[in-house]
Structure 1
Amino acid sequence: MVNIKYTLCAEGQRYGAGESNLKESLGRPLDSNGCTVFLCTAGCAVVFINFQKCVLKRGDVVFLFSDIVFAADKVSNLFSVLYISLPDEAVEETLYKLTSISFWDFIYGNPICRTSEKQYALLYGWCQQTRWILEDCMPENRQVLLSNNVYNLFTAVDSELKRESVYLSNKSKRDRGWTLAGKFATLLAEYCHVNRDVKFYADKLCITPDYLYKLTQKTMGMSPKEVIDQQIIVEIKTYLLNTDLSVKNIASELNFEDPSYMCRFFRRMTGVSPISYRNPGAHSEIL
């Protein structure tokens, strides 16, 4: 199996920090590590978060976790983000401490957050400080400083959300349903190449297909089958744009028995054929 997820970490590294225009990631799902933070510093982009189309522009901050599917679709010439990408072991203790249900409700319901100028300046400083910890801090002090810095970030976000009274109502608490929906997204990323059956994922989650339907409708606004189909389209697009594999070989990679069926499926979902989509003129990266 070809690994074609886009990573913000250098080869052999578990951490990533820096500035990017995300152009190299176009058409590829992001490996969000344990936690990735984007702060848009210029321009704008069209991105998909859990298959929902969103616009990312200067001043927006994005919080991504391992159970959130993110892919950049188009970016403007001036688009730029500061990014911090951290593994699970760097954030799990901090995330465990953050028990506010409303906080998690908001973060998962609003992965792109608009900042004020003051908030933007503070987040910019946090990104630069975290980058210094990762790149220049003495190794024996790095983990403690990093853990404290991550905790400070999310505690501050929690405080700002409370101060501005933008939390969601208690009617939409992030309960077991949210957790299961996140696990479904994780399982889908792992198994979509070999299985596209709703019952397969429901069995993996130890729930019924009907319950999985209710979960995805509530959290993603789609049926499980629609979520699976969207993930497969992301995978096909990624292969088309980032490998030289033939359509036949891509179909084999994604466990389609008949390449012609994959072509029909792709055309039905996107309006173009796989060959047309691979044509550079059919997929502009400029907004």
Structure 2
Amino acid sequence: MTKPSSKHKKATFVSTSDSTPSDDLVQEENPASATITVTAVEVPELTEAEERDRLNLERKVERAFFEAGKALMELRDRRLYRSTHKTFEDYCRDRFGFSRRQPYHLMEAAVIFDNLVEKCERNVHIFPTNEWQVRPLTKLDPDNQPEAWQQALESANGKVPSHRIVKDVVQRIMERTQVPNTYQLGEVCQILVKDNPDWRGKGGCWGIVNQVGEFSCTVAMWDGEYTVRIDHLKPLNYLPAECKQMQLISDRITRVYSDSLEETVKSLLHSLGKLNRPYLTGVEEKLLNVLEIESRL
């Protein structure tokens, strides 16, 4: 009979007189008392060059939304999509899978990020890492955005604040800095876009205030009525007589305008909707007269 292999552990069983195996199992070696030896692997420290590379790459990751917003602005402003798409929104949807609002959120965030880097105190080294954190800041004027970000950092104990923290800070600042609506019925004002896609194509256009709310106005423009927050309006400070003259011009343009007009006619009315003076020139008066006659035929 061969000897047991040395690789197998030996166990001794104690039998009773009736040859039934005992409940007690006696092992020569107790697994619980086994000793496990772990060899420590020394991890080399990062070199100065590696530390710089890590910081640089981390910043690239954190600023990915910022770079995307800047790139989208250049694509839009230079109309680099025109060879394949008629509109910027269609291009972003087909090329990047964006919803209609998403590219504008990224562009707004990039503008705000630049503003924070420029205007925050020098001891502020933590900046937004995604567009969602920035979005509440769009409700504030650029001068108030750095203050809001610094307060959000304090609330987050020096870490990157969440969307909720930034939103809460923005709400407190808005409640503190709310200015009553001073616009009056019949006043002429101008639309300020401020990277708000809702007013795309309306930048610089004038309108007549026909309803005053707490923080917004309903404004009659050449192609309809719009409700606009007061931070997107600029008073043109016309005299009362000049406001009445602009009201007459607005009424005339509104009666002529319709979606079925030819594009050249719409362009003309659009140009009249951007007048920076409270009167029409002789040529503008003649052109508008022709359109009024044509609209009655």
TM range (shorter): under 0.3
Higher helix fraction (1 or 2): 1
TM-score of the pair, normalised by structure 2? 0.22
Q: Larger relative contact order (C-alpha < 8 A, sep ≥ 6)?
A: 1
TM-score of the pair, normalised by structure 1? 0.22
Larger radius of gyration: 2
